[in-house]
Amino acid sequence: MHPALPPHTPFDDHPAGCWCGQDGACAPAGTPRSLWQARRAFLLLGGAATASATLPAWAQVDVGASSRLRHLVPAEELEQAAEQEYAKLLQEARSQGKLVPAGDAQTQRLQRIAQALIPHTAAWNERARQWQWSVALIRSNDINAFCMPGGKIAFFTGIIDKLRLSDDEIAMVMGHEMAHALREHSREQLAKNTATSLGISLGAQLLGLGDVGNYAARLGGQLLSLRFSRNDESDADLVGLEIAARAGYNPNAAVSLWEKMGNATGSNANGLAFLSTHPSGPERIRELQRNVPRVTGLYEAARRR
């Protein structure tokens, strides 16, 4: 929960008909109190977001700051919603005999790669230190993988088998999906959806954010269907590339991965759930090629350790 705004305190030297907060900020005459408080709350949240949306000082890739808007949805509540949704998904897969056992060689392969990447995540989001990371493999022909807020990862067997992914390529997929969670792209998208759907009534919600948080929790089922922006995808590509390189995975695999994705798109449009939200294309590959040299030294250093 964010702190409530300070109580209203009138000042005699302000224009007639206005009202103000303790910091002296005045609402124009005739402005409804709730809307002015909402605006003040939004500005306060924006300031806090600016202070917290920093990048690691040592980052080799160039990505933008996170959006201020994401603070409209409390991270704790979204992570709880994601954990519940993830548990339901795994239970459904288990009941259908599609959850690959933890002792399976492919599941252990994913877990091994995840354990290599996880130590390099907290620099991008301090909350990741508290996340209970989890990795699951689901038997499905779909080419798909995801990481939900809070570090809940799932791969479908289709993405590994159909694309014949190497460990390096799996690390690039996993790093990319981790980056979406670390950079809070789902949180930002849900905040945008929340703000749009609530409209003017958001003014009252911003005072405490409790109702907005509950609304986000009710949107937990949308987490798997969110479509990220082009900027989000580029952001996740580059952050994931660096995380994987620091873990000792060859960054050139990001290029071969998306070349395989592009070939899969051209040969078969069925079962490509991953590509419906992660479009491939020449520009994406060129951007990765431009950034591979930036992280190659990190990869080589990791291999020497």
Residue of 194, 192, 207, 215 lying closest to 39 (CA atoms): 207
Residue of 155, 173, 136, 135 lying closest to 260 (CA atoms): 173
DSSP 147-180: EETTTEEEEEHHHHHHHT--HHHHHHHHHHHHHH
CA–CA gap between residue 297 and residue 268 (Å, rounded)? 36
CA–CA gap between residue 145 and residue 263 (Å, rounded)? 18
CA–CA gap between residue 181 and residue 201 (Å, rounded)? 28
CA–CA gap between residue 116 and residue 299 (Å, rounded)? 13
Return the amino acid letter for 247.
Answer: A
Token pair of 62 as six digits: 């160039």
Is 177 in the active site? yes
Return the amino acid letter for 71.
Answer: H
Helix (H) or strand (E) holding 134: strand 134-138
Contact indicator for 94, 154 with CB cutoff of 8 Å: no
Catalytic residue (one of 85, 177, 242, 287): 177
Residue of 148, 160, 149 lying closest to 100 (CA atoms): 160
DSSP 22-88: TT--BPPTT--HHHHHHHHHHHHHHHHHHHH----TT--S--PPPPGGGGGS-HHHHHHHHHHHHHH
Catalytic residue numbers, as ranges: 177
